[in-house]
Structure 1
Amino acid sequence: MSKVDAIDRFLNPKSIAIVGVSKDFSSISGKPIKNLIHHNFKGIIYPVNPKYEEIEGIPCFSSILDIPGEVDVALIAVASKRMLQILDECEKKQVHHIILFGSGFAEVGEEGKALQEKVFAKAKQAGIHILGPNCVGLLNVKESIPLGFATSFETKKGFKPGNVGFASQSGAIGFSLFGLAQEENIGFSYVVNTGNQMDIHSFDCIEYMLGDPDTNVVAGYLEAIPDGEMLIKLSETSKSLKKPVILLKSGRSELGRQAAMSHTASLTGSEDAFQAIAKQFGLITVNDVDNMIDAMKIFSRGKQTNGNRIVTISNSGAAGIAMADYSEVLGLEMVRLSKETAAKIESIIPPYGSALNPIDVTAQALKEQNILTETLEVLIEDDQVDAIVFQTTFGGELGTKICQKIVEIDRKTDKPIIVTMTGTNELTGKGRTILQEAGVPVYPTSYKTMLSLKYLVEFSHFSNDQMLHLSAPAFLPDDGSNELTGIWTEERVKKELSILGIRVPNGTIIKDRSHLEKVKDNLNYPLVCKVISPDVLHKTDAGGVKVNIHNPAQLERAYNEILQSVLQYSPNAQIDGILAEEMIQEEGAEMFIGVKEDPQFGPMIVCGLGGVFIEVLKDISIRRAPIQIHEAHDMLKELKGYPLLEGIRGGKKRDIQALAEALVKVSQFASHHRRSIGEMDINPIWVFEEGKGIAALDGIIVWKSRVERSVSV
């Protein structure tokens, strides 16, 4: 049985066994049966505990083997040391779906990890799917089936069904977030806690929820990425179905290895890679529980935008200014209204109001509620407006009437309407409830409103984007070498770049002093000289670079000084020679391109300002390789230093197209050598005036060992 089929059985059981059940309904082992009874589970419940003959009138069995009927799902509330025995009994009873509540597994150390591996191996052999361990359970909200002991299951009000599905690795965060969202009138289809993810993990649940016809928004709380490739496939499903996936990931500090071999390694940690993947493939990432609930709220309405052109209406000038400020920070466009639309609004609002965007209808709307609603209706008809933010502080009867009118208008249009309603619950609560029950997104502050709108605009743009990502690299020329080992220094890397069609300076490797004597009079000066050594990767630090060499005498002096300096820096360094190459004298911008193989997502390509600016400014953009040309341009535009390429204060525009093409070629190279390449650094890349191309001035590739390749993505 596939995991998707298994999850369906977990969520829709007809019969449930509770192994280790207790009559103490306040205990972990007593709450599951209490919750099923409380929420009127329509199937069969089989309590299992030799201590009892019955619980609440339901017959209790000594062993799962004594149960007379079939068992769809078994809830296991026993000590971890008994799990192997329980698995034997489940196998004999042909129970293939287990929710394992208990702790004492991988989360407690090596001994627990070993037990978890044994349990998983045995379950896999027996064809048993496990949710957990260290799991509080799951909830089918649509059918009101709680399987577990989460505090949220104890609600007296019942559950609000809806179109949001939620998978959470943490039970505490997951079900507390669910409870808070329910208070915001957000309805759910399913909530699943995956715990230690021994078998069923969060992405399996997200896959199931994306395929569920009643679920239109899927959210996940992650403490780890169980499968990087699967996440990318889920994003493709999300786009094709236009169902957003919202992710809150903990552990965002950089925990990845900080390699000293190249600059790139220090710029791409696991969180960097995750955020890059999310941006590239249209996943919505949020920073905390509040952001997650706000995103659920705006997406659950089911409307999308055609762009980022926003108009705000407010009865407060200050509130309008605040929203304008936030829109600029968040990348939303406060669109200038057409003359026709502005004229219509001017005929509605008081003369001392403002028909500019943000629109200020003034406090006169306290007396004439039609001012707000008629202005809203005008904007609904304007095709140059993609979304409308309606801000009000009105409470009481007036606020209620306005909210009722907003609901009526919202039902008649596909254009998103988002409301900011500030004020106490006593004064604005009734109006807010009207909006919530109708599914109109309503927020208490301007920032929460505009941030949520940003999420909606970004996903709408991605899901409507017809551009496809490359699933495989284009053809790459083969240099005939199979020596993908160790460290490739500058000389070898430049040969590869030339094969890829990326320009490199002409140069000669001077092997020794006798070779120097043969070539020094035949070189084209001026020159740059650089040490070539697998042991000296940052040449400048070792005094391994000399520039502005104009004649043979200067070349000889530079050769000697480099050797002396490098051997002082690293006495045992292997020196393969001194590279003497043409010195680029044309004006240009310094950039860099790097590659880092991420353990979850594979090769990640990085670009940014080059030279010493990499480590100082850390102005970088990241994508998963391979990329297309439009993605390369997007990467460059994300850089704070992008204006340097466009030319500022009279500076010449650089060859951005050539740099973007180089990014694509390197990304294809990285993807072509997936699992083999560890790190790659091309720094600096000299970007000449527009139309004159680029030149790679230095580079390094670190290849993985055979052992590293065998365990990589």
Structure 2
Amino acid sequence: MTALRAARPGSDTSGGDLAAFLAPRAVAVVGASPDRARSGGRVLATLEATGYAGAIHLVSPSQDRIGERPCHASLAEAPGDIDLALICVSAERAPAAVRECGVRGVRAALVFADGFSEPSLGDDLRAAIAESGVRVMGPNTVGSRDVAGKVFVTIATDIGQTQRSGPVAVIGQSGGLTLYFGSARLRDRGVGAKYVIDTGAEFDVDAAECLAWVVDDPEVACVALILEGCRDGRRLMAAVELATARGKPVVLWKTGRGAGAAAQIASHTGSLAGDAAIFEAALQAAGAIVVRDEMAFVDALSVVAAGRAPKGRRLGVVTPSGGYAIVTLDAAERFGLEVPAALVPPTAEQSAALRPAHFANPLDVYALFGKGRRSFEAALRWMDAQPVDAVAIWLSYACMTGHVQAIVRDSLADFVAASGKPVLCCGLTTPQFEAELRDLGVVWFREPTRLVQALGLVAPRARPADVSETRTSAGHPAGPDFVGRELGRRDLGVVAGEAARTRLAGLAALPHVATWPVASADDAVARQREAGGPVFLKLEAPGLAHKTEAAGVVGPVGADSVADAYDRVAQARARLGDPAAAIVVQPREAGVELALGAFVDPAFGPSVMVASGGVFLEILNDTVFAPAPVTADQARDMILSLRGAPLLLGARGRPRCDVEAAAAALAELSRFIAAHADDYREIDINPLMVREEGRGVVAVDALIVARSQSS
């Protein structure tokens, strides 16, 4: 059995406490039962069936013995030191059981019961945790397991299936998802787990703490997270950074991808910054591999658990089918992989072995096995010489036959050992042969697109290139599920207009457009004449979050239309019922429209957003989020990750825009929100006009949501 691990220096909670959960030397089943349908019977049966080597003490005031084991009326009567109490009683009785653990000196408890959404029960359990000093996992957890150490402190019902130990640590907040996708489906792919941990409702121990603990285990090579949310996003980021710094990839699947923002949201930024957006962006910035669905989760883990993540994003393709080559090329473009042109010519031997193949990438060889092992090995060696980081091989259904299996197995055994590049095969074969290849370090897929998607997820993320080519939204932290909502309303928490510009006036990298208040149509005409070109007329009032929805923006208009535009805005002011609201004139600015946003996320704290679109921001949903502050380089990467980035870079003959100035503005806004998180909830700069290269940027509109109406 795994020894109880010592506490780690520098941990914010002792490693010994988590060792009590994951490597306990003695456990007590509180609420033990002979009935295996009850949690107290099921966990006991599991401990006995899986060969737990530590001491097991039973606590049940209604039983004298269960099987050959004596029962104790209370935890106080159980003998010896106890590392972990398995609380198998109802939600109403669980707080008292935790308090008893504190009195008895038991430092850790798993609380299996649910029902703590009832406020009084939840408050009582939290109070018991605080008063007793006992570390608690749960409530509403199915428990945890160390497969290699044969420590199954769980009420899960899959224990009768063969458990496969392996290099993955799986941590989740839903027992059902964690066990199915983080254990059962991984076993189907031949991937084993060292740890499977369900943190449940996380009244105390959370996923961040578990992640920081398991990466210290030399048997853990990668970590899988299935999370709905977190209490402390920065702490979770630190745990991900710790794992990746130790060379242990973290695959994150964030469930619950709805907008999730507060019901009353005054800014565009707030409406777009749903829980999943900043959550995924923050953890991706920390180094996590972010996936969006369950099969991508299993696929990505299959690759990283095998240690076959490529060092770059260049893919070599070997196929006997032109159709597979086309599908793979399409998938590579979709998931951000490069299929580079071949640079190294074939040797005479390779040409002879593969004649009449056209030596290109993808390498399409009609009779790939026509000359037996000779032709297949020639194709592999030639592709290995090209500038590629991984090799994908389409085998169709050829490996359903024994003689082709022998060719592939023997050839790949030599090739994988000599090359060192990840090899992934695709097609149909038998489970036995797939297992043989897995032992060689070859990962098998049935569908080419899923193979390429998995590589696209686990390969190192490339910095956005400064090129004017179309970009896809794959991998962006926000997508079409972050839909904006109707925002044209008065909100007394909103600081807008001149008041917002004044509060942001100290941001040198974020200048604001010239704005002139006018008291009449004649004043407006004079200001348009002074501007020398088309202008906008706008209504500005305290609490008016978005002028467009209130018909408070008219323009651009020229000299002959300014007076009429003034009258229209004045009518909007009358409908608003605020005669003191200002009407202002602004010159029209040329450039590409971005939106900058800053907000304070409940879990991740100060954060920033950049988006394409101006007034179409919430329609386009082309957004990138990051925790604040960001550097100018990071801000530039965010901007160039937008689908609309080609518009800034001179697409279709347009002039290039001042991306560096936009990056400086975003970075300065990020520093501002980081410094003023106690003062402001949200800040919008929308639109930010990005002028031609060398001419900077200008903020056309600003909106601030203060922490309180008085701030």
Category of TM-score, reference length = shorter chain: 0.7 to 0.9
Contact 1:203 1:226 in 2 (8 A): no
C-alpha distance in 1 between matches for 2:256 and 2:97: 34
Equivalent residue for 2:511, pick from 481, 503, 522: 503
C-alpha distance in 2 between matches for 1:123 and 1:649: 63
The amino acid of 2:416's aligned partner reads D
Number of residues paired by the alignment?
667
1:254 aligns with: 259
1:323 CA displacement: 1.5
The amino acid of 2:688's aligned partner reads I
SS of equivalent residue, structure 2 residue 647: helix
The amino acid of 1:451's aligned partner reads Q
Equivalent residue for 2:284, pick from 274, 279, 284: 279
Contact 2:308 2:422 in 1 (8 A): yes
Deviations 1:281-324 (A, max 9, x none): 33222233332222111001224433111001123332222222
Deviations 1:525-548 (A, max 9, x none): 455443321143333444434556
1:197 aligns with: 202
2:329 aligns with: 324
Residues 343 and 695 (structure 1), Cα distance of their counterparts in 2 relative to 1, 3 Å cut:
farther
2:454 aligns with: 452
Deviations 1:632-653 (A, max 9, x none): 2222222222222222333222
SS of equivalent residue, structure 1 residue 175: helix
> After superposition, where does 1:513-592 map in structure 2 within 5 Å?
523=530, 525-526=532-533, 528-547=536-555, 559=566, 561-568=568-575, 570-572=576-578, 574-575=580-581, 577-581=582-586, 583-584=587-588, 587-592=590-595
Residues 493 and 299 (structure 1), Cα distance of their counterparts in 2 relative to 1, 3 Å cut:
same
SS of equivalent residue, structure 1 residue 29: helix
Equivalent residue for 2:707, pick from 685, 688, 704: 704
The amino acid of 2:191's aligned partner reads I
C-alpha distance in 1 between matches for 2:225 and 2:185: 15
1:190 CA displacement: 0.8
Is residue 2:681 matched to residue 1:678? yes
2:376 aligns with: 372
TM-score (norm 2): 0.86
The amino acid of 1:365's aligned partner reads F
SS of equivalent residue, structure 1 residue 334: coil
1:42 CA displacement: 1.5
The amino acid of 1:565's aligned partner reads A
1:219 CA displacement: 0.7
2:248 aligns with: 243
Equivalent residue for 1:356, pick from 345, 360, 363: 360
Deviations 1:435-483 (A, max 9, x none): 2234432112112211111122136989xxxxxxxxxxxxxxxxxxxxx
Deviations 1:365-392 (A, max 9, x none): 055123223322343344x211111221
Gaps of 5+ in 1: 463-484
The amino acid of 2:443's aligned partner reads P
C-alpha distance in 2 between matches for 1:78 and 1:139: 20
2:67 aligns with: 56
> After superposition, where does 1:269-668 map in structure 2 within 5 Å?
269-340=274-345, 345-351=350-356, 353-365=357-369, 367-382=371-386, 384-392=387-395, 393=397, 394-401=399-406, 402-423=408-429, 428-458=430-460, 486-501=493-508, 502-510=510-518, 512=519, 523=530, 525-526=532-533, 528-547=536-555, 559=566, 561-568=568-575, 570-572=576-578, 574-575=580-581, 577-581=582-586, 583-584=587-588, 587-668=590-671
2:105 aligns with: 94
C-alpha distance in 2 between matches for 1:35 and 1:128: 24
1:671 CA displacement: 1.9
C-alpha distance in 1 between matches for 2:622 and 2:371: 52
Residues 562 and 277 (structure 1), Cα distance of their counterparts in 2 relative to 1, 3 Å cut:
same
Q: What is the RMSD computed on CA atoms of the aligned residues?
A: 3.0
C-alpha distance in 1 between matches for 2:517 and 2:578: 20
1:183 CA displacement: 3.0
TM-score (norm 1): 0.86
C-alpha distance in 1 between matches for 2:137 and 2:556: 66
The amino acid of 2:433's aligned partner reads G
Is residue 2:174 matched to residue 1:163? no
Equivalent residue for 1:146, pick from 142, 152, 156: 152
2:486 aligns with: none
Gaps of 5+ in 2: 1-6, 8-12, 465-491
C-alpha distance in 1 between matches for 2:293 and 2:353: 41
Contact 2:524 2:566 in 1 (8 A): no
Deviations 1:632-690 (A, max 9, x none): 22222222222222223332222222222222222222222223222222222222222
**Mean Cα displacement is larger for which, 521-530 or 193-202?**
521-530
Q: Percent identity?
A: 28
C-alpha distance in 2 between matches for 1:252 and 1:435: 36
SS of equivalent residue, structure 1 residue 22: coil
The amino acid of 1:129's aligned partner reads R
1:192 CA displacement: 0.9
Residues 342 and 278 (structure 1), Cα distance of their counterparts in 2 relative to 1, 3 Å cut:
farther
Residues 338 and 55 (structure 1), Cα distance of their counterparts in 2 relative to 1, 3 Å cut:
same
1:74 aligns with: 85
2:218 aligns with: 213
C-alpha distance in 2 between matches for 1:521 and 1:656: 29
Residues 28 and 446 (structure 1), Cα distance of their counterparts in 2 relative to 1, 3 Å cut:
same
C-alpha distance in 2 between matches for 1:35 and 1:513: 82
Contact 1:304 1:415 in 2 (8 A): no
SS of equivalent residue, structure 1 residue 679: strand
C-alpha distance in 2 between matches for 1:22 and 1:242: 44
C-alpha distance in 2 between matches for 1:93 and 1:535: 57
1:57 CA displacement: 2.1
Residues 411 and 28 (structure 1), Cα distance of their counterparts in 2 relative to 1, 3 Å cut:
farther
Deviations 1:108-164 (A, max 9, x none): xx3xx3212212222222221111222221111121111122122223x4x322210
SS of equivalent residue, structure 1 residue 35: helix
C-alpha distance in 1 between matches for 2:55 and 2:360: 63
1:217 CA displacement: 0.5
SS of equivalent residue, structure 2 residue 170: strand
C-alpha distance in 2 between matches for 1:461 and 1:263: 27
